[in-house]
Amino acid sequence: MRISLPDWLGPICRGTRWPGIRGAVALATVLLAVLFALEAVADKLTMKDGRVFEGRVISENDREIKIRTARATLTVPRDQVERIDKGTSTLQQRDEKLEALTLEKPEEYIDVASWLLGEGASVWDSDLFRRLCAIPVAQDPRLAVRANLVLGRGWEAHGRPEEAAEAWARAEAADPADPEARRLAASGRKTLESAARRRVEALRNALRAASNENFAEAVPVLRNSQGGPGATEAEASLGRSLDAMTTDLQRRIRCKPCEGTAQIECPLCKGTGALQCADCGGTGARSSFTTGREAKGTERKLCRACLGMGNALCTNCKAERDVIFNPAISMDLNGKKTVMGIRIHTTAGHEFDEIRKEINLRDLTTQTGGTDVTSVLVEKVNPGGKRNCPSCGGVKFDPPAQEVDFKALSAATGALDAKLTSGGSFLRDLQPQSRYDEKVIADRFWLYSNGRWVFSK
């Protein structure tokens, strides 16, 4: 069985030598202590076949139960479950804190990030932590100092000194007068200086590889060096941007994963362009029980989680499609009622906002006339199901007729050699361009619901 260690345990294992059996016993003791601490308070699903799943039950109905474990979110048929034992785990506390977050109170995102460094250390997650420190700054730039100080402390605690130094540099740039930001940024400058030198050396070596026609080795480094240390000097010698040079070289390489087409099947949606709704199982409808004087027992209604569509567009491949909501009742020329569907073009990550313009999401009625929506027609996803190949950056194999300018590549290599031997500082090349990591929250999934980040609730 393969076991993934929590992120917070990494520095302990990396910074400690575990000699022989005694070391193995010590490591096992630490792991068992962590596991027992988590298991003692987690929800437990005991299956009829003897299997046990532990984590947090996030939803359940008459057909299935959805449980979020430390490694994955599972959906199991209710008729296969023998017993449910409820508890209050650290994972559940984390999810409750995340689901309580609102964009009206961005400072609370930083509070949760700080909690992950203390009481919530057992459920610390690097991607989650990074997102929690970026969203509040995007909402309120005045929070940049506090968010980056917390971010830096998190990276320092988890053995990532370069990322910690970058966060402190952002904090100082946001408010040069803040004493703590100045102190921590000063302590991280040496780390940043070393990191910048390594990046310049990597860029120099990539240009040298390109000069030797080893384009496949050079392209990944050139792509990651854009806007970084040494990029200005290299571009001056090349007479073009690193981006243009990278694209030129990539066009000369037939990428193996995509066979030179620049596109691959989206790994998240498996090429369908949509992700099945966990609440209704993709049917678009849910069973509900009515009570009262006119109770009808169990009846089928449109699933509110997916608005009757049965799935959501995949944001990973930026899918789009038309959705038709029926009925919208109107009168024809003969005075007869006709049913006219409301066609709405939707895009991944913005579906609810686009549908909201025509449909009342709370009551599932039309905004004009208040007519009940009784059915939904989902048309084929287009575009979607494909995404740019990460190996080639979405550049199609199409060798340019013009030869590579090897003279310019040699000049750029020489310029970086001179920079490395000059003894000057590289820090000016690492001045933070933004107060937060924009790439982390480019999807604009800033709210948390049912175990995942979403665009809106």
Mean pLDDT score across all residues of the chain: 83
Most confident of 202-206, 309-313, 340-344: 202-206
Q: Do 312 and 304 form a contact (C-beta atoms < 8 A)?
A: no
Specify the pLDDT at position 448. 92
Q: Do 65 and 76 form a contact (C-beta atoms < 8 A)?
A: yes
Nearest-angstrom CA–CA distance, 79 and 64? 8
Determine the residue type at 341.
Answer: G
Among 147-161, 206-220, 265-279, 419-433, where is mean pLDDT lowest? 419-433
pTM attached to this predicted model: 0.58
Residue 337 confidence (pLDDT) above 70: no
* Structural domain of 226: 96-250+426-449
Which residues, in sequence order, are bridge partners of residue 85? 44
Whether 211 and 100 map to the same domain: the answer is yes
Mean pLDDT of 148-158: 96
Q: Do 129 and 98 form a contact (C-beta atoms < 8 A)?
A: no
Determine, yes or no, domain membership for 238.
Answer: yes
Nearest-angstrom CA–CA distance, 346 and 269? 17
Determine, yes or no, domain membership for 342.
Answer: yes
Specify the pLDDT at position 320. 95
Specify the pLDDT at position 190. 86
Specify the pLDDT at position 211. 95
Determine, yes or no, domain membership for 167.
Answer: yes
Most confident of 32-36, 76-80, 299-303: 76-80
Closest to 8 measured CA to CA, from 121, 93, 174? 121
Determine, yes or no, domain membership for 50.
Answer: no
Q: Using DSSP, how many helices (H) and how many strands (E) does the chain show?
A: 13, 18
CA atoms within 13 A on the CB side of 356: 7
Closest to 57 measured CA to CA, from 45, 49, 71, 39? 45
**Banded pLDDT at 329 (limits 50, 70, 90):** low
Among 93-97, 137-141, 241-245, 414-418, where is mean pLDDT lowest? 93-97
Closest to 76 measured CA to CA, from 58, 88, 89, 93? 58
Residue with tokens 């930083």: 110
Last residue of a domain, one of 386, 406, 439: 386
Specify the pLDDT at position 4. 40
Among 52-56, 116-120, 336-340, 364-368, where is mean pLDDT lowest? 336-340
Nearest-angstrom CA–CA distance, 431 and 173? 8
**Could you read off the pLDDT of 271-297 as tens digits, one per residue?**
999 999 887 888 888 765 444 444 444
Whether 116 and 227 map to the same domain: the answer is yes
Whether 245 and 308 map to the same domain: the answer is no
Instruction: Give the residue, 340 or 436, on which the prediction is more confident.
Output: 436
User: Which value, to the nearest 10 degrees, does the dihedral of the CA atoms of residues 101, 107, 109, 110 take?
Assistant: -160
**Which residues have a Cβ under 8 Å from the Cβ of 113 and sit 6 or more positions away?**
129, 132, 133, 147, 150, 151, 154
Determine, yes or no, domain membership for 374.
Answer: yes
Residue 21 confidence (pLDDT) above 60: no
| Number of other CB atoms surrounding residue 281 within 10 Å | 16
- For the chain, percent of residues with pLDDT exceeding 90: 48
Whether 318 and 227 map to the same domain: the answer is no
Whether 375 and 440 map to the same domain: the answer is no
Whether 126 and 236 map to the same domain: the answer is yes
Last residue of a domain, one of 386, 402, 418: 386
Whether 283 and 147 map to the same domain: the answer is no
Residue 63 confidence (pLDDT) above 90: no
Whether 227 and 368 map to the same domain: the answer is no
Whether 302 and 160 map to the same domain: the answer is no
Longest dimension (CA), the chain: 90
In order of 176, 178, 179, 186, 189, the CA distances from 183 in angstroms are 10, 9, 6, 5, 10
Whether 198 and 123 map to the same domain: the answer is yes
Specify the pLDDT at position 433. 66
Q: What are phi and psi of 9, to 5 degrees?
A: -85, -15
Determine, yes or no, domain membership for 318.
Answer: yes
Determine, yes or no, domain membership for 300.
Answer: yes
| Number of other CB atoms surrounding residue 43 within 10 Å | 22
Residue 457 confidence (pLDDT) above 70: no
Specify the pLDDT at position 237. 95
Whether 221 and 137 map to the same domain: the answer is yes
Specify the pLDDT at position 149. 97
Instruction: Give the residue, 284 or 201, on which the prediction is more confident.
Output: 201
- For the chain, what is the domain count? 2
Q: What are phi and psi of 38, to 5 degrees?
A: -75, -45
DSSP SS3 for 114: helix
**Could you read off the pLDDT of 393-452 as tens digits, one per residue?**
999 999 999 999 999 999 999 999 999 998 777 766 556 668 888 888 888 889 998 788
Mean pLDDT of 166-185: 94
Determine, yes or no, domain membership for 402.
Answer: no
Last residue of a domain, one of 386, 411, 434: 386
Whether 242 and 123 map to the same domain: the answer is yes
